[in-house]
Amino acid sequence: MNLADILIGLVTDLIVWFVGLLPTPSALPSGVNAALTAIGAFFQKANAMFPIDTVFQIFGLVVTIEGGILAFKLGNWAFNKFRGAG
C-alpha cells in the first residue's frame, strides 16, 4: 500500500463520515420536502431555457481546477519547508 492509496482512503472515509452526519430525507420536515420538490420542478422548467446543469458542471470543473492549484501550492510549500529552503 502506497501513500496515494492511504490518502485516497482517508479522503473517502472523511466524505462518508460527513455524508453520514446529514439527515435522511424521511427525517426532514414536510415543509422542507415540499420546498425541495418545488425547486426541482422549477429547475426542470428553467433548464429548457437556460442549461442550469451545465452551469453546475462548469462550476464544479472550476472548483476542481482551483483545488488542484491550491493542493499543488500547499504541497510545494510543505516540500520547501521540509527541505529548509523556505
Give residue 86's pLDDT band: very low, low, confident or very high (50, 70, 90).
Answer: low
Quick check: pTM over 0.75?
no
Give the residue ranges of DSSP H helices in 1-86. 3-21, 30-49, 52-83
Q: Residue 63: its pLDDT value, please?
A: 95
HSE-CB for 18 with a 13 A CA cutoff = 6
Q: What residue type is 26 in one-letter code?
A: S
Give residue 53's pLDDT band: very low, low, confident or very high (50, 70, 90).
Answer: confident
> Domain residues of the chain, as ranges?
51-86
Mean pLDDT of 41-65: 88
**C-alpha separations of 82 from 76, 85, 86 in Å:** 10, 8, 9
